[in-house]
Amino acid sequence: MRAAVVVAILGIGMAAGATAAIGTAMPGVPNPQRAHVNWMVKCQGCHRPDGAGSATTAPAMAGQVARLLAVPGGREFLGQVPGVATAALPDDQLAELLNWTLLRFDAQHVPAGFQPYTTDEIRKLREKPLRIEAAATRARLIADLERRGGVEPTEHEKGDVQ
């Protein structure tokens, strides 16, 4: 019984340590807990809690979203896509949330030397949000990505999602 309590306490301590480690490992994310809450409130309805997306709602973030940083125009696209640019969040929290989204769901594709989005950069990008043309812009970027790296289209890209 006592051993179980000790194990439980150790477990909590390790979880807290892990959270702190993630916090320091996320450049451009001053408050990962706040970013996660913002994700839950503003984004996961479409992109799902685990960033998996779905063929009928929105593309996956998980294992994919940061690939777009590798193509010209991709960085701007991520800040101008409607779900991001028009989110009801102040610029600093939106920059934090976008950096968190990239690092939380697709750290493996974040390029070495990635400069996190700043408040100022997000402010400028969201002044010119993509609207109806977002899907076409995205398709062009993904085609460019596939040409460069032979990346397989995802379920979302195979589906006819607008």
73, 139 in Cβ contact below 8 A? no
Q: Shortest Cβ distance from residue 17 to ligand HEC (Å)? A: 27
Q: Could you give the string, one character per residue 60-99, with x where binding to ligand HEC holds by CB under 6 A and - elsewhere?
A: -----x--x---------x--xxxx--x---------xx-
> ∠ at Cα 154 (134, 157), nearest 5°?
35
CB-wise, 4 or 108, nearer to ligand HEC? 108
**What residues contact 60, with CB distance under 8 A and at least 6 apart?**
47, 51, 52, 53, 154, 155, 156
As measured in angstroms, the least distance from the Cβ of 81 to ligand HEC is: 4
Q: Please, which contacts does 16-25 make with residues 24 or more away whose CB atoms are closer than 8 Å? A: 25/103
Asked whether position 134 contacts ligand HEC by CB under 6 A, the answer is yes
The answer to whether the beta carbons of residues 38 and 93 sit under 8 Å apart is yes
Q: Does 43 engage in binding with ligand HEC (CB under 6 A)?
A: yes
Nearest to ligand HEC of 14, 136 (CB atom): 136
Residue 138 found at the interface with ligand HEC (CB under 6 A): yes
Q: Which of 100, 42, 93, 98 is nearest to 74 (CA)?
A: 98
**Residues of the shown chain interacting with ligand HEC in the complex, contacts defined by CB under 6 A:** 42-43, 45-47, 58-59, 65, 68, 78, 81-84, 87, 97-98, 101, 134-135, 138
